[in-house]
């Protein structure tokens, strides 16, 4: 199995030593703090570094070049990739051993008096059954989580991420840890739960007592006092909405932030926030690495919009969808109590319409859902107005859910038409339309957006927040820097560049959107040509930002034995029309006639075409794998 790391240009120059050590193997004994002035040039990728050999070196440049095609130079320079069999690619997260040497590491036995997952109060001799049991809870250091779980027979195994969880070896002694927590960006249910569980997890699982809160976002690193935090001080905060630390937008000054981290001796930084925040966390990590500091940076992705790439969903999303039901219910009551009543509900989602889509699917009272990803038009055949008129004639009332970013092009036009008057575009246009049609209607507009994001998290988000916090702690203690997240139901450590380079969006070519269309019966506003274009765009957008000419993707990739069965060989047919690959037709497969309007709209959606992993498709029984392809054997439901 070949393995590579892509080095920053200046560090590559220092290469020349054949090294095969794994950073999970015990490092040289002796504790030496690496904090302080930047580490000397000789250090990068020295003997304790990752798996690099002269043999793999020729591939290094190719990997960097290939990677640079799809990643910004800077990101490509920090990417850490490892190939395995059958198209396996580990997109790994950075570790202290990538740039520091002579690190102290815990022994193989449980490293701390109270170790993760269990309230083990005293260290026990290695041989006792209790310790053996405890050790079952460590994740295998080689476990990885696949980015895509819906595969075809001959698909390459694809990109994997390092699995999150407690590890046998940690890179900090409890008494040396000085951790800080910051929240940035907009509010989201669950922020306080994550804060609470970071504090309690560090304290209860790893005996860490020096924990500080940074106030009001990134700028709090250099403009406010740090708040000492204890399990007692955060005991009840999960019952409140918002963030006890305060938050802000703007104010990210990387140099000043890292100066403060360094001056105050902080060595674990927990950063909770959205896409912008994770970009900031990446900048902080890079500066920390440049200075050669032994500081772990753990990002916990937050956004009510659910637009963070790679992860299954962001915390607070479930709570938001649930709370949105109350607004939709009210809109329904209002609309159904008036003649030609329209209940119009605005939900958050600047660029991604996930809340609107899930709230609509959950409610079943919604007649139309408009999201930024699905363009629509107002007038003419198949337009929104025609549909509204039809619905009102049929039902006397209707409910429309609009994500805040939907129909921006129409709003821009309407503002222009209204001579720069700052009005709500949709509503104004609808009013105009009604006047022309001489239709009486009552529109009740409800904007619950800030009420939704200010609530405390619900039970399921509380559990999710707790697990995210614990995964973040385990990763930081083990010396990694990363964004933590659930990928196909398993917690994983994801490289920063992965979550910052793209934004998660509703794929209107996926079946979930098709389900929505069939539940509301609204027009899709799209022609087959539009769908094809959207599908192409989705495919491009979901291309992994990793090299395409590595072994498994290039000429050496394992070829299907008979030339069939690769995704290219299958004729991709619309969902509902049955398989029409030559092999399937030969086997007597028949087309399923699309009878209902819903089925017609569903027929745009091809089960093979959606690149989105697992949320709505079939998955293998167990997703955690080692590089060699062995499935993890631990219990189901383990995150």
Q: Which residues are annotated as a binding site for Mg(2+)?
A: 275
Residues annotated catalytic, as ranges: 305
The single residue among 190, 274, 341, 456 that binds ligand ATP, judged by CB under 6 A, is 274
The single residue among 51, 204, 350, 444 that binds ligand F6P, judged by CB under 6 A, is 350
Q: Binding segment for Mg ion among 274-282, 289-297, 360-368, 558-566 (CB under 5 A)?
A: 274-282
Nearer to ligand F6P, 170 or 356 (CB): 356
Establish if 349 lies at the interface with ligand F6P (CB under 6 A). yes
Question: Rounded to the nearest whole angstrom, what is the least distance from the CB of residue 371 to ligand F6P in the complex?
Answer: 12
Q: Binding segment for ligand ATP among 47-55, 234-242, 245-253, 567-575 (CB under 6 A)?
A: 245-253
Establish if 293 lies at the interface with ligand F6P (CB under 6 A). no
Closest-CA residue to 373 (of 500, 489, 185, 517): 517
Establish if 305 lies at the interface with ligand F6P (CB under 6 A). yes
* CA 485 – CA 489 distance, rounded (Å): 9
Question: Rounded to the nearest whole angstrom, what is the least distance from the CB of residue 453 to ligand F6P in the complex?
Answer: 6
For 581-594, b/e burial (b = at least 16 CB within 10 A) is beeeeeeeeeeeeb
- Judge contact between 392 and 439, C-beta under 8 A: yes
Nearer to Mg ion, 91 or 275 (CB): 275
348 binds, among Mg ion, ligand F6P, ligand ATP, none (CB under 5 to 8 A by kind): ligand F6P
Question: Rounded to the nearest whole angstrom, what is the least distance from the CB of residue 511 to ligand F6P in the complex?
Answer: 25
Nearer to ligand F6P, 186 or 201 (CB): 186
The single residue among 34, 106, 174, 277 that binds ligand ATP, judged by CB under 6 A, is 277
Establish if 272 lies at the interface with ligand F6P (CB under 6 A). no
From residue 359, give the alpha-carbon distance in Å to each of 150, 404, 509. Answer: 26, 14, 19
Q: Binding segment for ligand ATP among 277-285, 395-403, 469-477, 618-626 (CB under 6 A)?
A: 277-285
Establish if 276 lies at the interface with Mg ion (CB under 5 A). yes
* CA 495 – CA 473 distance, rounded (Å): 16
Eight-class DSSP state of 150: -
Binding site: which residues?
186, 249-250, 274-277, 303-305, 348-350, 404, 450-453
Q: Binding segment for ligand F6P among 101-109, 301-309, 326-334, 604-612 (CB under 6 A)?
A: 301-309
Q: Which helix (H) or strand (E) holds 297?
A: strand 296-301
- Judge contact between 112 and 120, C-beta under 8 A: no
Secondary structure in 3-state letters for 178-234: EEEEEECCCCCCCHHHHHHHHHHHHHHHHCCCEEEECCCCCCHHHHCCCEECCCCCC
Nearer to Mg ion, 275 or 312 (CB): 275
The single residue among 7, 145, 284, 348 that binds ligand F6P, judged by CB under 6 A, is 348
Closest-CA residue to 93 (of 141, 138, 21): 141
3-class SS of residue 138: coil
Nearer to ligand ATP, 87 or 186 (CB): 186
Establish if 404 lies at the interface with ligand F6P (CB under 6 A). yes
What's the distance, Cα to Cα, between the start and end of the chain in Å? 28
The single residue among 189, 280, 372, 579 that binds ligand ATP, judged by CB under 6 A, is 280
Binding site for substrate: which residues?
303-305, 348-350, 404, 450-453
Q: In the bound complex, which residue of the shown chain has the CB atom lying closest to Mg ion?
A: 274
* Residues 294-333 contacting ligand ATP, CB under 6 A: 303
From residue 23, give the alpha-carbon distance in Å to each of 13, 46, 77, 93, 296. Answer: 21, 12, 19, 12, 15
Nearer to ligand ATP, 241 or 576 (CB): 241
Establish if 382 lies at the interface with ligand ATP (CB under 6 A). no
- Judge contact between 472 and 298, C-beta under 8 A: yes
Establish if 367 lies at the interface with ligand F6P (CB under 6 A). no
* Residues 203-242 contacting ligand ATP, CB under 6 A: 217-218
Q: Which helix (H) or strand (E) holds 90?
A: strand 88-91
CB atoms within 10 A of CB 309: 21
Establish if 404 lies at the interface with Mg ion (CB under 5 A). no
Q: Binding segment for ligand F6P among 260-268, 290-298, 344-352, 540-548 (CB under 6 A)?
A: 344-352
Bin 310: left if φ > 0, else alpha if -120 < ψ < 50, else beta. Answer: left
404 binds, among ligand ATP, Mg ion, ligand F6P, none (CB under 5 to 8 A by kind): ligand F6P
From residue 24, give the alpha-carbon distance in Å to each of 97, 137, 241, 365. Answer: 9, 17, 39, 53
Which is it for strands 490-494 and 158-163: parallel, antiparallel or unpaired? antiparallel
* CA 13 – CA 11 distance, rounded (Å): 5
> Would you tell me which residues interact with ligand F6P (CB under 6 A)?
186, 274, 303-305, 348-350, 404, 453
Catalog residues that contact Mg ion under the rule CB under 5 A. 274-276
């Amino acid at each position: 199995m070949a393995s590579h790391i892509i080095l920053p240009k200046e560090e590559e120059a220092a290469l020349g030593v054949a090294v095969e050590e794994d950073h999970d193997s015990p490092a040289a004994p002796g504790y030496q703090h690496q904090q302080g002035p930047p580490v000397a040039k000789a250090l990068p990728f020295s003997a304790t570094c990752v798996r690099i050999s002269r043999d793999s070196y020729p591939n290094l440049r190719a990997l960097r070049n290939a990677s640079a095609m799809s990643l910004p130079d800077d990101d490509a320079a920090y990417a850490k990739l490892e190939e395995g069999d059958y198209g396996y690619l580990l997109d790994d997260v950075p570790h202290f051993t990538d740039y520091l040497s002579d690190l102290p590491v815990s022994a193989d036995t449980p490293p701390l008096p109270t170790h993760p997952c269990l309230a083990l109060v005293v260290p026990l001799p290695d041989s006792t059954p209790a310790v053996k049991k405890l050790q079952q809870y460590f994740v295998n250091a080689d476990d990885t989580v696949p980015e895509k779980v819906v595969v075809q027979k001959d698909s390459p195994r694809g990109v994997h991420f390092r699995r999150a969880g407690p590890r046998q070896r940690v890179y900090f002694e409890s008494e040396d840890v000085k951790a800080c927590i910051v929240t940035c960006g907009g509010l989201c249910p669950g922020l306080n739960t994550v804060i609470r569980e970071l504090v309690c997890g560090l304290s209860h699982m790893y005996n860490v007592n020096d924990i500080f809160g940074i106030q009001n976002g990134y700028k709090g690193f250099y403009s406010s006092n740090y708040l000492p935090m204890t399990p007692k001080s955060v005991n009840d905060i999960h019952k409140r909405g918002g963030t006890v630390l305060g938050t802000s937008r703007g104010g990210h000054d990387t140099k000043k932030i890292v100066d403060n981290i360094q001056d105050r001796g902080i060595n674990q930084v927990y950063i909770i926030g959205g896409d912008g925040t994770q970009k900031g966390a990446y900048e902080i990590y890079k500066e920390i690495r440049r200075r050669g500091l032994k500081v772990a940076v753990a990002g916990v992705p937050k956004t009510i919009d659910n637009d963070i790439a790679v992860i299954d969903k962001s915390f607070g999303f479930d709570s938001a969808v649930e709370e949105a039901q109350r607004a939709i219910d009210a809109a329904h009551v209002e609309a159904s109590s008036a003649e030609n009543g329209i209940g119009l509900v605005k939900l958050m989602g600047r660029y991604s319409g996930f809340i609107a889509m899930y709230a609509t699917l959950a409610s079943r009272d919604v007649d139309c859902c408009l999201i930024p990803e699905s363009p629509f038009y107002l007038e003419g055949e198949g337009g929104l107005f025609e549909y509204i008129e039809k619905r009102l004639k049929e039902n006397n009332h209707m409910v429309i859910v609009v994500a805040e970013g939907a129909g921006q092009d129409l709003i821009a036009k309407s503002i222009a038409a209204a001579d720069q008057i700052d009005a709500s575009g949709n509503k104004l246009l609808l009013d105009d339309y009604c006047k022309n049609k001489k239709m009486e209607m009552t529109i009740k507009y409800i904007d619950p957006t800030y009420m939704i994001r200010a609530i405390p998290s619900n039970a399921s988000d509380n559990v999710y927040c707790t697990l995210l916090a614990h995964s973040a702690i385990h990763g930081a203690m083990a010396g990694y820097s990363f964004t933590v997240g659930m990928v196909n139901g398993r917690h994983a450590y994801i490289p920063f560049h992965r979550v910052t380079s793209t934004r998660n969006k509703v794929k209107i070519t996926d079946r979930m959107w098709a389900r929505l269309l069939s539940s509301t019966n609204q027009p899709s506003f799209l022609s087959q040509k539009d769908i094809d274009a959207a599908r192409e765009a989705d495919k491009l957008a979901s291309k992994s930002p990793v090299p395409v000419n590595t072994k498994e993707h290039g000429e050496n990739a394992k070829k299907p034995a008979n030339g069939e069965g690769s995704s290219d060989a299958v004729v991709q047919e619309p969902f509902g029309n049955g398989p029409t690959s030559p092999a399937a037709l030969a086997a007597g497969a028949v087309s399923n006639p699309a009878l209902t309007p819903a089925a017609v709209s569903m027929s745009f959606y091809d089960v093979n075409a959606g690149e989105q992993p697992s949320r709505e498709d079939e998955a293998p029984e167990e997703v955690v794998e080692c590089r060699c392809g062995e499935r993890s054997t631990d219990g189901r439901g383990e995150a």
